Amino acid sequence: MNFPKPRKWLGQHFLTDPRILGRIADVLEITSDDTVVEIGPGRGALTEQLLLRAKRVVAIEIDRDLAKLLREKYAGDERVTIIESDVLDVNLGEAAGGPYLVAGNVPYNITTPILFHALEHSRAERAVYLVQREVAERVIAEPASENYGALSVNLQALATAELSFRVSAGAFTPPPKVESAVMKIVPRADPLIDATEEAAYRAMVVGAFGFRRKQMQRVIRELWNFGADDATAILTRAGIEPTDRPEVLTPADFARLLRAR
Ligand code: SAM
């Protein structure tokens, strides 16, 4: 899927409480052998906590002044590598140089592309993100629930996700208008779709949720321009009831649907 390139990051809301930052690092279950790729280190508040636990931190920061500040702060510390770049332009596995974990207090306006970028090859072993609470709730939502949608399906096809804990707006300086949450993502050992299917899967899922309350029989016809008989045949092959609506289908249902086309 083509995500829009990020514009300049809007607004800085810093989280400095070492107890909360330490809890974020703890969610990642870092060992002293681990390399952690940190996305958006800013002034390095989370970086400190990662370095207390990890072998190495590779920090990717887009902002020139912040990257300079970090280079100065960690000059001479061999455990820290600062990459001044847009994270979406960096292959995280290559940057890490081997197996790696991801941690990010990521800019809220580009959370979704970052989540999917970190699920590209070679994937992190696990990731922790501080995100807008609404995004975490959408990512972890189950079929037929209010927050379930294309983001839930597309992410859950590749990974399992859990909301680890919530962070109130008051924990940030200045407080943002939205609430936040810490979310853990673990790529599936056996993803429901492979890399060659991802683009078609995402397009299908986004398209289907455009008709979230229509029945699948109708959705297939609208999406793929099939006649009624062909739509029924596809749904039968996929084991999906023609009267089901997209909002009740699981990520695995969508994977079968893609292959039944
Ligand atoms: N974790 C930091 C802290 O608490 O000090 C700051 C987190 S702040 C919410 C997000 C950080 O991500 C900022 O430092 C920002 O410059 C950086 N950033 C924004 N867009 C980025 C991108 N596309 N690639 C890498 N870093 C980015």
What pLDDT, on the 0 to 100 scale, is given for residue 107? 83
Please give the tally of structural domains in the chain: 2
Please indicate, yes or no, whether residues 101 and 124 belong to a single structural domain of this protein.
yes
Asked if the structure places residue 4 within a domain, the reply is no
How much distance in Å is there from the Cα of 172 to the middle of ligand 1?
Answer: 14
CATH code at position 87: 3.40.50.150
What pLDDT, on the 0 to 100 scale, is given for residue 247? 97
What pLDDT, on the 0 to 100 scale, is given for residue 13? 80
What pLDDT, on the 0 to 100 scale, is given for residue 9? 41
Tens-digit pLDDT profile for the chain (261 aa)?
A: 444 443 334 357 889 999 999 999 999 999 999 999 999 999 999 999 999 999 999 999 999 999 999 999 999 999 999 999 999 999 999 999 999 999 999 888 899 999 999 999 889 999 999 999 999 999 999 999 999 999 999 999 999 999 999 999 999 989 989 999 999 999 999 999 999 999 999 999 999 999 988 999 999 999 999 999 999 999 999 999 999 999 999 999 999 999 999
Asked if the structure places residue 162 within a domain, the reply is yes
Please indicate, yes or no, whether residues 212 and 134 belong to a single structural domain of this protein.
no
111 Cβ neighbours under 8 A, 6+ residues apart: 129, 131, 132, 135
Asked if the structure places residue 3 within a domain, the reply is no
How much distance in Å is there from the Cα of 105 to the middle of ligand 1?
Answer: 7
Ligand 1 atom 12 nearest Cα: 40
Residue 254 Cα distances to 155, 223, 234, 246, angstroms: 12, 13, 12, 9
CATH code at position 238: 1.10.8.50
Instruction: Provide the residue range defining the domain that includes 241.
Output: 198-260
Choosing from 60, 66, 105, 110 the residue with most ligand 1 atoms within 8 A of its CB, the one to mutate for a pocket test is: 105
Q: Indicate which atom in ligand 1 lies nearest the CA of residue 40.
A: 12
| Three-state helix/strand/coil letters over 30-41 | CCCCCEEEEECC
Please indicate, yes or no, whether residues 173 and 233 belong to a single structural domain of this protein.
no
Ligand 1 atom 22 nearest Cα: 86
Q: Check if the beta carbon of residue 216 is closer than 8 Å to that of residue 235.
A: yes
Residue 69 Cα distances to 89, 162, 166, 241, angstroms: 21, 33, 29, 57
Q: Indicate which atom in ligand 1 lies nearest the CA of residue 60.
A: 25
162 Cβ neighbours under 8 A, 6+ residues apart: 140, 183, 184
Q: Check if the beta carbon of residue 221 is closer than 8 Å to that of residue 227.
A: yes
pTM: 0.92
Please indicate, yes or no, whether residues 98 and 78 belong to a single structural domain of this protein.
yes
Alpha carbons 102 and 129: distance in angstroms, whole number: 8
Q: Indicate which atom in ligand 1 lies nearest the CA of residue 43.
A: 5
Alpha carbons 178 and 162: distance in angstroms, whole number: 19
Asked if the structure places residue 50 within a domain, the reply is yes
Please indicate, yes or no, whether residues 122 and 80 belong to a single structural domain of this protein.
yes
Find the residues whose C-beta lies inside 6 A of ligand 1. Answer: 6, 9, 13-15, 39-43, 45-46, 60-63, 66, 86-88, 105, 107, 110
